[in-house]
């Protein structure tokens, strides 16, 4: 027959229950704010029951001092499975978000491509208008005077020249002069005769001067002028 007994050992008091098993006493320790250990609770276990004895009066300072006196929640805010929190708006509407982001990207890409195309079209238009008044030297054919031998033509390929166009047949009777040389230039319709004025210095055609030349050419074309001015820059 088993009986309950109690004895003292080196480690402390030992309780034996009716079944011959030990009834331990558990001590709950914690660190205070100055990092010293202290007992805040004892738990006496007797077979299937336990008795808890609190040894503190202020739970915030005795137990949760390292958490600024705030006791942690018994259950997470969203529950143990996360089902107590509202669903994430982004993941709930991820399809709409992807569609909106795609539209924004395509809009920005379209705007960039449109800007690049406008710049390219403007550059092409400037080059087209420049081609109306700029002519290469190799495209001009020299005119020789009638009934006379060929005269030596001083090369003007190293200096710019201003070329005036006319359809007068009298140019064929005039040879090279000090300031002018006469050529034939093939335009879109016919072979056009031009008088080229020679310069001893090369003027600098910057963007402003080129813009002025484009305006003059457009104005001449609009007025359907008989005389057209070109420039040979090479």
Answer whether residue 117 shows pLDDT above 60. Answer: yes
- What's the longest Cα–Cα distance across the chain? 157
Q: Which residue has the tokens 């137990």?
A: 63
Q: Is the pLDDT higher at 58 or at 195?
A: 58
Evaluate if residue 155 carries a pLDDT over 50.
no
Say whether pLDDT at 111 is over 90: yes
Give a yes or no: residue 29 inside a domain. Answer: yes
The more confidently predicted of residues 124 and 157 is 124
Residue range 157-196, pLDDT digits in tens: 434 445 555 444 455 555 677 777 777 776 666 677 777 7
Domain assignment present for residue 200? The answer is yes
For the chain, list the strands marked E by DSSP.
Answer: 5-9, 12-16, 25-31, 37-46, 49-54, 140-142, 161-166, 180-186, 191-198, 228-232
Closest residue by Cα to residue 188 from 165, 211, 169, 157: 165
Name the band, by pLDDT with cuts 50, 70 and 90, for residue 103: very high
pLDDT-based confidence at 145, cuts 50/70/90? low
Q: Residue 29 pLDDT > 80, yes or no?
A: yes
Whether 43 shows a pLDDT value over 80: the answer reads yes
Taking alpha carbons only, the member of 214, 213, 176, 215 closest to residue 196 is 176
Question: Total domain count for the chain?
Answer: 2
Summarize the confidence of residues 12-35 as an average pLDDT: 76
Classify residue 107: in a domain, yes or no: no
In this structure, what is the dihedral angle of CA atoms 27, 31, 34, 39, given to the nearest 10 degrees? -10
In this prediction, residue 102 carries a pLDDT of 94
State whether 93 and 160 are in the same domain.
Answer: no
Decide if 120 is inside a domain.
no
Residue span of the structural domain in which 186 resides: 132-232
pLDDT value for 119: 94
């Amino acid at each position: 027959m088993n009986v309950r007994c109690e004895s003292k050992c080196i480690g402390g008091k030992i309780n034996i229950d009716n079944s011959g098993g030990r009834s331990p006493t558990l001590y709950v320790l914690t660190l205070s704010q100055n990092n010293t250990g202290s007992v805040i609770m004892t738990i006496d276990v007797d077979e299937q029951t336990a008795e808890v004895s609190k040894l503190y009066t202020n739970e915030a300072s005795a137990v949760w001092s390292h958490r600024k006196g705030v006791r942690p929640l018994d259950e997470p805010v969203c529950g143990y499975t996360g089902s107590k929190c509202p669903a994430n708006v982004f993941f709930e509407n991820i399809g709409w978000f992807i569609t909106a982001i795609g539209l924004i990207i395509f809009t920005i890409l379209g705007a960039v491509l449109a800007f690049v195309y406008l710049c390219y079209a403007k550059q092409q238009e400037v080059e087209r208008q420049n081609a109306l008044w700029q002519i290469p030297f190799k495209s001009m054919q020299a005119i020789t005077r009638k009934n006379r031998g060929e005269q030596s033509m001083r090369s003007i390929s190293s200096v710019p020249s201003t070329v005036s166009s006319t359809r007068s047949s009298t140019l064929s009777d005039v040879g090279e002069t000090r300031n002018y040389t006469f050529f034939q230039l093939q335009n879109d319709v016919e072979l056009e005769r031009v008088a080229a004025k020679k310069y001893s210095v090369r003027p600098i055609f910057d963007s402003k001067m080129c813009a002025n030349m484009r305006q003059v050419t457009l104005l001449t074309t609009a007025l359907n002028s008989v005389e057209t001015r070109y420039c040979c820059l090479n």
